[in-house]
Amino acid sequence: MLLPDNIHPDNSVYYNGAIVLQVLQNNGRMELFELYEKSKGVKEMSFPLFVLCLDWLYLIDAAVLNSGEVELCS
């Protein structure tokens, strides 16, 4: 669930996805684990949550994974 009502909002996929998206916008194309480390530097998140954020960004056509690198969709 993107915005659950039973957890703190900053633990949601929606909030953390915005952080991942912001890191991508600031840095451009990045390797998967480099993006994870930079995103963790902004806000602590688990790797499974990070992957859920990438899934969500892919589903809304905001980001795509190409050969191990994540980049913004144009």
The secondary structure of residue 28, as a DSSP letter, is -
**Which amino acid is residue 52, in one-letter code?**
L
Domains defined along the chain, listed by start: 9-72 (1.10.10.10)
pTM: 0.87
Cβ contact 45:56 at 8 Å: no
pLDDT at 68: 86
pLDDT, one tens digit per residue, over 6-60 is: 777 788 898 999 999 999 999 989 999 999 999 999 999 999 999 999 999 999 9
